Structure 1
Amino acid sequence: MRLHPVPGAHGHHARRTRRTRRTRPTRRDRVQRCGGGYTTSGVLTQLDDPKVSSRVAQADVVEVEVGANDVGYDPSCGPSVGCYEPTIPTLEHNLGAIVARVRDLTQGRRVLLVLVDYWSVWLGGQYAQAQGTACVEGAAEITDQVNAVIKDAAARTGAAYV
């Protein structure tokens, strides 16, 4: 999960890229960037932390990449997509709540909220191929479902989708 609130371009924590002239977060501006572990429920809890909510409230750009850990690979399920599908409605509900919370924290200001999709929610490329066809196909199918939830949330809420 990544939650990247970026202060205004004139703040000392932001810098502009030469090519795009857009503000880009510095390492210090990132509220949380982890290699794994946060689910949508965890992000909702994180947004209740006063330090996090304060940073989000001051941000001009908030990037949210969450959802893969809601359907994280479970050896007891293996690549069986049907085993993971019951978590999709919770992911959908929580992602909507995350967007609503960010909008609430930043109300009255124009803020770019970006929802980011996934290349693969499990292993991808050669790593998935090493696990066999079922893993490749299962990862692709559940990734498509997660990305559809993210895309739909962006469309419903006016967030950007990448």
Structure 2
Amino acid sequence: MLIAVIIACEIAFWVLLGLGLAARYLLKARRLSLVVLLVCVPLVDVALLAFSVVDLRGGGQAGIVHGLAAVYIGVSVGFGHRMLRWADQRFAHRFAGGPAPVRPPRTGREHAAHERRGWLRHLLAYLVGGAVMGIFTLLIGDFDRTAALWQMMRVWTIALVIDAIVSFSYTFSPRRART
């Protein structure tokens, strides 16, 4: 059941984002756009958190799906603003005559700084997701029933470390422009 809620939240995120951008650029309804983007889009995360808590409080065993919900919320907090900006640039360019989207730097120190900022966002997502998993564990009150959550966290820790190695490698050995 919770997996369906996660999928519905992902769909709702993109639908609300599209509606908010359409309101802004096609209908020229800036206030409506702000309400949709700044109020409704974060409510998707709140709804997912609420469904997860209700499921766990109702006696559900914390599993991989609950871990996935925590990861979703963490990634939404860590990368949500960046995704909104990404979509906004493209929508404005395509439908409102805005400037072409800015591409991230591909070489040099600027690229290295961009990669480090991306890793810091990943770290934020990891910390928020871990906090949500911690809340789930406290709600259940039994670490054995939440072991699957922490298996998810182990995998995410490995991904975070690999991302750190790759992201910070550009600091010590920046990409060079092709000649």
Structure-2-length-normalised TM-score: 0.35
More helix by share: 2
TM-score normalised by the chain length of structure 1: 0.37
Question: Which has the higher Rg, Structure 1 or Structure 2?
Answer: 2
Structure 1 or 2: more strand by fraction: 1
